[in-house]
């Protein structure tokens, strides 16, 4: 009798533990139902090479997520455009030998992202999105920032993709 009770209790716990889980995209659409076109972002900062890195990482992240099909040769149902508005570098830690020499920087990227439905022109997303990464400075700050650029752009791309995929539009 206690064995049956324990099994019934275990089954009830297992079934209610997954009650809030949803399979597939969280916005109610079927995966790949809509296609999305990513246009290269405009760069309003003085930092070079940001446009290519952000666009490439955003396309990669959209493909990885799987909520949308990436429109590469034709027009997508949703068109994503953006403008990189800020690139900021701030020291995180200072060298113990020299209190004027930073060891780590936090680099941040800000972009104004807009997504529109191609057919109606309706704006479905218009937000400022942030991305950041930590850069360990070796002998060359420029080289360290160049190596951290894909990580920084990837963080921004994950944030944009999350807003698009989990949107309530």
- Name residues whose C-beta falls within 8 Å of residue 33's C-beta, 6 or more positions apart in sequence: none
Mean of the pLDDT values across residues 71-81? 86
**Whole-angstrom Cα Rg for the chain:** 22
Tokens of 86: 């800020």
Please tell me the distance from the alpha carbon of residue 129 to that of residue 124, in angstroms, as a whole number: 15
| Mean pLDDT estimate for the chain | 85
The CATH number linked to 64 is 3.30.160.150
Of 18-27, 99-108, 124-133, the one with minimum mean pLDDT is 18-27
Of the CA atoms within 13 Å of residue 53, those in its CB half-sphere come to 21
**Domain annotation covers residue 149:** yes
Query: Are 38 and 78 contacting, i.e. CB atoms less than 8 angstroms apart?
Result: no
**pTM to 2 decimals?**
0.78
Reference 136, options 99, 87, 93, 88; nearest CA is 93
Cα torsion 133, 138, 140, 146 to 10°: value is: -30
The predicted pLDDT at position 101 comes to: 73
Number of domains present in the structure of the chain: 1
**Domain annotation covers residue 3:** no
Strand partners, 89: 107
Mean of the pLDDT values across residues 49-64? 95
**Domain annotation covers residue 80:** yes
Domain that includes residue 33, residue range: 28-165
The predicted pLDDT at position 63 comes to: 93
**Domain annotation covers residue 14:** no
Q: Is the pLDDT of residue 36 over 90?
A: yes
Q: Is the pLDDT of residue 23 over 70?
A: no
Q: Is the pLDDT of residue 100 over 80?
A: no
């Amino acid at each position: 009798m206690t064995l049956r009770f324990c099994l019934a209790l275990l089954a009830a716990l297992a079934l209610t533990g997954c009650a809030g889980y949803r399979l597939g995209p969280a916005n109610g659409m079927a995966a790949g139902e809509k296609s999305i076109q990513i246009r290269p972002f405009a760069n309003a900062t003085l930092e070079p090479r940001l446009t290519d890195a952000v666009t490439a990482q955003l396309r990669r992240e959209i493909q990885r997520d799987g909520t949308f099909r990436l429109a590469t040769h034709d027009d997508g149902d949703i068109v994503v455009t953006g403008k990189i508005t800020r690139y900021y570098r701030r020291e995180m830690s200072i060298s113990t030998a020299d209190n004027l020499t930073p060891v780590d920087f936090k680099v941040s990227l800000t972009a104004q992202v807009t997504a529109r439905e191609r057919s109606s022109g309706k704006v479905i997303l218009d937000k400022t999105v942030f991305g950041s990464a930590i850069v360990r400075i070796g002998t060359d700050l420029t080289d360290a920032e160049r190596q951290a650029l894909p990580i920084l752009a990837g963080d921004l791309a994950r944030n944009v993709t999350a807003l698009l995929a989990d949107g309530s539009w």
